Each structure stands twice: as C-alpha cells, then as structure tokens.
Chains A and B, each alone.
Chain A
C-alpha cells in the first residue's frame, strides 16, 4: 500500500495542484484547509507524512507542529513545513517547533519529493 500523505494548505489552487501531483506519484493524499481540520485528520487518519503550509487559518503551522509533536499518538509522523518566507527566522523556528524538514515555495517538486521519500524511508527504518 502506498504511503498516505496529509496535505494541509489553505490556498485552494496550491492544495489542488500539490495533491494532484502527489497522487500522480502514487501517494494517497488527504487534504485539509486549515490547522484545526489538519489536526483532526492527523489524529484520526494516522498519515505516514504531513506536508503543511506554515501560515494557516484557525491554527498556524507552528502551533499545529507543536501539538502533533507533543502527542504520543502523532509524534512519530514526519512533518515537512512549506513556507513562502525564505527568511532566517522561519527556518530556525521550523526546527525548533519540531519539524522534520523544511522547504520553500514555490515548490521545486523534484526536491520536495526527494525529501518526502527520504523521510518515509527514515520512518520505515525506525
């Protein structure tokens, strides 16, 4: 069974485009459009990996990451955060919050899928 990826993204076009591209790679994709919804799905669906935008309505990416990493049920799920701010602080903050990887928009799809595969491989090993 192909890995299940939870994509949390508030921008409809980006959400649609990314989910379709991931599906084309064969992943099963769940989508959420805000932090709250993402949180619920992460707990109920137990995805193999979470891909999330950092600036989300309802609950932002930082907060969501902290919550997921704080919970016994979800802390094993690798998280990749996506941000359009290519600034120093975001990157440091991402790792501080407990993210497993980090990428910037606009997404270079090949680079991103490498990161996804690498994290999934890591997860399988551990």
Chain B
C-alpha cells in the first residue's frame, strides 16, 4: 500500500510512532555505544593491571627459569573466565610458560612480540603485552589474550533491554497516538463525512460539527459558511426556477389564449370578408335588378319621344326628355354602385392600352359640356408640350378625370375650372400629372379626411343640393390605386379646390390578359370613343366578303381601312400607307399568310408594324414564332379584334404627319390652351 494513500488516521499514527521510536532508538543506541566503549576501556585497564600483577609475580620465576613456578602463577588466572590465553615469553621470543584454559592456545599461533607494553584489539580479542622486569632488568614478556566475554554479554543484555523498551514504548506510542490522532483526524473525518452526505443527498442543510478552534475548526467554519452560501443560492435558484415555471405556465396560457383570440379574429375577418363579398354580390345583383325596369323606362320614353317628335307634340317631348335624363342619371348612379361593388368583389381588372393623353382630355372636356354650361363656368385646359402617349386603362383615366371635372363644375358657380396636364419624373419613374383646379365652394379639412371614402359626400346637405351618390371620388380613388398612382386634394372653404392625380406613364398590371375581357362596355365603348385620330389598318384577305366585313367593322370603330387581296399587294400597300396594324389571313392562294408574314418581318421598313394573324386553324406557336403580335381564329370575334388592335397599334406621336387629320383641328396649336366657353 502506498503510504501517501494511507488514511489520515494511519498517517498520524505512523508519524507519531516512527518519530517516537526513532528518537528512542537513537538515544538508546548512543547511550549503549557510550556504555560499551567505556566498559571496554574498563575491561582493558583491568586486564592490564592483571598483567602487571602477574608479571610482577612471575618475574622471579622468569629470572630463575623456574618454569613450574611461572606456570603456577599463570594458573591463577583461572578465576578470570574471559582469559583465553596467557603466555610468558623469554626475551628472545620463545615461550617460557603458558596457560590455556581451553587446552589449546587460541589463537593457535601466538602473535609475534611487537612491542614492550601495550594492548591491541585483534580478531575480536583484546590482547595485552607486558614486559616482565626484575630489578629493572628485562627478563621476559607476558601476553594475555581475553575474549571480552563480559563485554559481549553486557552488550547483548543491554541490546535486549533497549529492544524491549523500544518495543514497549512503541506500543505505548501506538496507544497514545491512537488516542491523540483523533484530535486531528476526527474533525477531518467528520468534515469528510458531512461532505459526502451533502454531495450524496444534495442536502445543504446539514452542517459539519466544529470541535476546536484550530485551523481545522476554521476550515470547518469556512466549509459551513460555504454550505450555507450554497444553500442560500440553491434556495434562491429553486425559487427562481419555480418562478420561471410559473411564468412559463402563464406564458403558455397566454399563448393559448392569444391563439384562440387569433383564431377568433381570423374567423371574424373571414366572416367580415364573406359579408363584404355578400354585400358586393348583393349590390351587383341589385343593380342588375334595377337595370331591367330602367331599361323599360328609358326604352319607352325614347320610343315615345320619337313618336311625339313625328307627330309634332312638342310639349310632351320636353317631359319625355326629362324622364329620359332622369332615367339616365339613375342608370349612372347604379353603374357607380356596380363599379364599386365590382372593385370590392375583386372583379375589376385593368384594360391597358396606349392612349394619347391630349385627344383623350379634349374629348372628355367635350362630353362635359352640359355640366360646364349648367353653372356658367369657364373651363381652361392646358396640356404641356411633352405629354404624349401613356399606357393605361383609358376608360378609367377618362372616368377619373370626368369625375373630378364634373365635381368641379358642380361645386363652382360662374367660376373658372382649369385642367393642367404635365409630365414629370419622380422616384425614377415617369408620371403624368392631372391637376383640376376650381374656384368653387371649397372643402374643409375635416371634410377632406373622408373625401375618398364611399358614401361620404362632404356634407349630407350637399347630396340634397347637388345630387350624386358620393361614389365618384371613391371610385376615382380606387381606380388611381389600381393603376398605382396617387390622388390628393388641396382646398380651403370658399377658396376653391385643387385635385391632383399622378399616374405612371407606363401603367403595368399582372391582370392585363384577364382585364382585356373585362366588360363589354369597357372595351367597345372605350375603343369607339378613342378613335378620334384615324389610324390606318391594313386588311389582307383573299375573300372579298371578309375584306368588306372587316372594313365596315373597323371603319365603324373609327379606323381608316386599306384592304389588299393578296400578300404581294399587302406588302406594297403597307409601304405606301404605313398602317398602325395589319391583319393577315393565313389561307391565301399563291403567297400564303405565313410567307407574307415572313416577308413583312424581313422588311426593315415594315417589321415594326404589328401583324395580327387571322386563321381557321389554331396555330398560335407558329404565328408568334414568325413574329406575329397576336392571332385570331375565324370566325372573327369583332370585340376581340377591337381589343387586339387597340393593344397593338403603333402609338402615333401627335406631331407625325398622318395624325393631322381633319378631326384634330387643334393639333398644331400645342401647347393647347383652349377655352370651352359656356353655352348658356
């Protein structure tokens, strides 16, 4: 067993015993050594005095060569047990007499006389030499040899006693140390025990017992302080832990509660959306139900008006016109409601096309004439030089402007209404700005807040006085939003109002395709109104009936139509008239539609002109591959044709030669500042 790993008890006992035993052994040994040295010295002196006596007694016998007397003298040594040899030498070194108690000299060979008087230790024996003198004359030498038996007996006895006492004292030391080590080991063992208990049971409430106020006592104090500190922290930790658990439970509860609330909110939201959809559907249905009788009212009054006109009853004619105009007003209100419900039901899409801003504005102002005339207002329109073509939903732009302008007319009496159109760049985008300014009654800040909301005419009295649904601005607002534009108002009561609309020059929408089919009104009416400028359409078809039909239809839409009977003629005419769009029949003798299309697209002068293929077979991929802009399947859906021509026709810049047609007399006067004077 390694000493270092001995228990503290063992170590303490071992230390005590080793220390005490070592001290005892060392002191006993020094005492023993001293005693044995001095005892041997005594023995030597004794032997030397013996030799002196015997030498004296045997001197005479030596002198007279009396061997017997000498031997007798030597024999007196029998009393001395430790003498093993006694020899008398003659001066010449021969043995004269001897005494051997054991019969034989020990050692067998006697030592050579080396000196006169003296002693030496030789081979474990003490040897003494003594000159025998008679009257001062040297007569021989005495040699005594002792085996120091007394000394060795003494040494053995002493050693035994020392050993015995060392053993006894060791036993005693063991006894004492085993008692005294507890002074140190007990508190340590107890401390250790406490520590084990703490670590095993995690019980920080136990304390180590302090026995004495020595270092160990202080150690135990420190340990106990540490324990109580740990206990304190443990309690705090436990408390924090408990608190955390409680908090977690609370939070979980909160989360569950919130989830429930969220679900409820979601349900409520869905319910609200459903309700909103239901409302929109209801409005759509209602407006449909309203339209049917209105149809009869307007129809009958128109019919009656015709009849009365023919029969000359002029007084009735006025009343019938009132019925008609009231019916049409009612219809516009219903249309507003329908528009709004379509927007809300998400059924309103954008029908994007290239629109010439100038002509569109002018035309809109023309349709506004009755409203302008009503309150005797002046209208000034200014269109900036750089305003050209914009890509937008023309119907909606027109409706927005019409709303703003007719509002301005409605709320201004004998005043001036100005419309400024300009183009600018903001945030890296091109915008068209329409600014409608009037000198009318104005709008208070409070009224401005809810101006663009549905059914919120600025004042309840207004609807009574001025009429209207209060939906115009809400619809305009939604339309502007749909085209990602902005609308704003600046006004002070009594000082007139300024409405400003910003629309992107290039309105984009992901819903274009869907929007193209939106509403018959939007496309046919919209495109019909937009044909102020005579774009030329080239119709290439070998069938004269088709050529005739297409010409009639397109002319009705306001286009100038040129027709060609075959591809060759088509190419020639295209170079001559530079049409806005070409429609091309696929099935033609000689040079067929595909071949003609290829030649159009290979001619640098003609390649930019959009070509719409007219075909009986659905071969869209081939048409688009060869560079056609679109395709139509026979029999031709005229509305779709109108939409496609509108979509693809090359926008003309107002300054280009062809656009100066007779229908646009104001073209050269740009920037236009024309006044629409009052009619009444």
Contacts and interface: CB of A to CB of B under 8 A. Distances in A.
Interface string A85-106: 1111001100100000111111
B521 A86 contact: yes
Interface in B518-534: 518-521
B419 interface: no
Interface residues of A, number: 30
B338 A17 contact: no
A5 to B, nearest CB: 16
A12 to B, nearest CB: 9
A53 B84 CA distance: 168
Nearest to B300: A17
B549 A14 contact: no
Contact of A14 (B284, B296, B514, B545): B296
B299 A106 contact: yes
Contacts of A95: 637, 639-640
Contacts of B520: 86, 91, 102-104
Contact of B299 (A14, A84, A92, A125): A14
Nearest to B515: A88
B291 interface: yes
A91 B299 contact: no
A67 interface: no
B342 interface: yes
Contacts of A125: 545, 548-549
Contacts of B331: 106
B314 to A, nearest CB: 20
B298 interface: yes
A104 B294 CA distance: 13
Contacts of A107: 295, 299
A21 to B, nearest CB: 5
Contact of A88 (B293, B296, B519, B556): B519
Given A118-B552, A126-B545, A17 B521 contact: no
Nearest to A90: B520
Nearest to B299: A17
B640 to A, nearest CB: 8
B302 interface: yes
Contacts of B125: none
A122 B519 contact: no
A111 B309 CA distance: 21
Contacts of A102: 520, 639
Contact of A87 (B294, B295, B519, B553): B519
Interface in B499-544: 514, 517-521
Contacts of A109: 299, 302
A88 B518 contact: yes
A114 B549 contact: no
B637 A105 contact: no
B140 interface: no
A11 to B, nearest CB: 6
Nearest to B285: A85
B303 A11 contact: no
Task: Name, among A85, A87, A114, the residue most crowded by chain B CB atoms within 10 Å (CB to CB).
Answer: A87
A20 interface: yes
Interface string B311-325: 000000000000000
A1 interface: no
A118 B637 CA distance: 13
A2 interface: no
Given A86-B519, A104-B521, A11 B306 contact: no
Contacts of A84: 288, 291-292, 295
A88 B347 contact: yes
A102 B324 CA distance: 24
A106 B291 contact: yes
13 contacts: A18-B299, A21-B303, A24-B303, A86-B520, A88-B349, A105-B291, A105-B295, A106-B299, A109-B302, A118-B552, A121-B549, A121-B552, A126-B545
- 4 closest pairs, A vs B, by CB? A106-B295, A13-B296, A17-B299, A125-B545
